[in-house]
Amino acid sequence: MPSRLRYPVPVLAALAVSLPCTAQAEAPSEAASAGGPIEEIVVTARKRTESLQDTPVAVTALTADQIAEFGVQSLADISKMTAGLLFDSEFTRGANRPVIRGQANILGASGVSYFIDGVYVSGSIDDYDLDDIERIEIVKGPQSALYGRNTYSGTINIVTRSPGDEFRASVKGEVAEDGQFLARASLSGPIGETLSGGVTLRHYEMGGHVTNRYDGKDIGIQESRSVSGVLEFTPNERLSMRGRAYWSERDDGQPAIFASRYFD
């Protein structure tokens, strides 16, 4: 029986206080709908709300609509839509590390850090559920002055979606080749006049896509599960507080590592 590799991810808890100018992709104007300029994208790459066109740093912003349109399934897929970004795969999902502009640190910590709603996240979050996000910002170049250590190559900022003041529920299931299976369910909406919340459950698994010629068993098996929850308190129009918790666990099998046939 192949060995199992477990990658427990610590619980992430975040509390954010914001004004009504929460960063978002603004609705297109009448001119835009009539064939005028494209919609304005508002980002928080410099920890303040500003237009993407006015930001004096290199930023690639992907909205939730773009992620759904292009069929992005994981954070690693955003490299296909972002110039200068790739993910250095080291045989397992837990070891996938983002590399911006070729600045890779093989033996030490990565030069690119993840932030979820402004909170630093350590380790890999390659299997993070992208259906709960509002926007992803890839900030390129040294960002230590604003974001701290391990950001000399850039940052990946994930801005999550607000629970909102309307009930919303979704259930999704996917089946694909190599025994891939994805199940996801989410529920969000108002809890009271000033409080709203949401919860999301996700399970993913993939059968081994490579057969070990020694014992005939499949290798490369992947399995992960996650739970996330959010509460948002809005006492008035000028104040909003949001708390979010996220837990995930990977239970992958032996990674599919191959060797070249040097002696043939």
Helix (H, G, I), strand (E, B) or coil at 221: coil
Instruction: Give residue 54's region: left, alpha or beta (phi > 0; psi -120 to 50).
Output: alpha
Domain count, the chain: 2
Burial 236-260 (b: 16+ CB within 10 A, else e): eeeebebebebebebebbbbbeeee
CA distances from 32 to 29, 42, 117 (A): 5, 16, 29
Q: Do 51 and 156 lie in a common domain?
A: yes
State the Cα–Cα distance between residues 227 and 127, nearest whole angstrom. Answer: 12
- Is residue 75 in a domain? yes
Say which CATH number the domain at 142 has.
2.170.130.10
Q: Are strands 239-252 and 133-140 parallel, antiparallel or unpaired?
A: unpaired
Same domain, 110 and 147: yes
Range of the domain at 246: 162-255
Mind listing the pLDDT tens digit for each residue in 126-152? Answer: 778 888 889 999 999 888 888 888 888
Residue 240 has pLDDT above 50, yes or no: yes
Assigned token pair, 248 = 């995930």
Position 79 in a domain:
yes
pLDDT at 20 over 50: no
Given a contact cutoff of 8 angstroms between Cβ atoms, the answer to whether 90 and 73 are in contact is no
pLDDT value at 56 more than 70: yes
CB neighbour list of residue 192: distance below 8 Å, 6 or more residues apart: none
Structure confidence by residue, pLDDT tens digits, 155-203: 999 999 889 889 999 998 988 887 889 999 999 999 999 999 999 999 9
pLDDT: which is higher, 123 or 112: 112
